[in-house]
Structure 1
Amino acid sequence: MTKYQNIDWRNKSNWGCNARSSPQSDLTYDGITLDPLEVMFVKVKGFLLQRNITYSLKAAQYDLWLENETSRNVSLLLSNKYASNEFSYKAPRILVAKARGSSCFDAEFYRQRNRDLMDMVNSDTTAWQHYTFYGQFERRPHRYAN
């Protein structure tokens, strides 16, 4: 783990790193998620995959690609889990946006920065709806006031 390179783990004063939190849950490694390419081993267990723990999903996918030699497996090469089940990836972010609400969403800023939407996004409500269901996934410029 890059953050902890050159740490002497024999010194017990170093044992309180990462606020004594395990880095093995999403975002608990100093605000980011462990990456299988950064650490030697990550857990890939059924319950972690069911909970959509990112590093386990990533490691399992790498394993699948390596086992199947992607270049020789046309169906694996042409498939895309996101495209085939897009809503399951988007739903959590839509729910977060809806829970946050539109009261602080700067609809005027959204319309000004996304001029290609001017004809269809002509009110604060439609700007918010567009951002919630489409704009956030298209990485469109937006901001929240306060």
Structure 2
Amino acid sequence: MNSKFFIVVLATIILIACWLFFATNSSYQEAIKSRFYYEVGNYAKSYELSQNAYKKDIYNKMAYTVMMQSEISLKYVKFIDSANEYLEQISKLSKQEEIDKVDKNRIRMMCEIVLEDYERLKPSNLTNKDIQNEAKELRDKFAKLKGELF
């Protein structure tokens, strides 16, 4: 009977100690906030907070992991934004009555840039699948466009 009581008390003390550690350690508080921002899709704020948390405590694995995942996600978002800008430019060029050789070369270059940029992205199991899928769809559009035009 005493051993069961001792185990329950010991487990309770450990849980309280862990809670106090996380509640009073500013590095872990920022890491938890950064994780929240990562989950809601604000990767820039998440990266900023996790980087601050990691600077405060380089042994904070949570901050390091969120910082790396936010960095990867920011690269995906940057890729998606630039690919969408290129699509807008190509759409404007395609509305012309006749596309001259210079514009065709410009479109080909845009396709090559997007395809090369996609190859530089590093997929990760922790990165949001929606942005990975959106990036892949954009890459597929540009590969198809390049294949049809050139």
TM above 0.5: no
**CA radius of gyration, larger in:** 2
TM-score by length of 2: 0.30
Higher relative contact order (CA 8 A, sep 6+): 2
Greater helix content: 2
TM-score by length of 1: 0.30
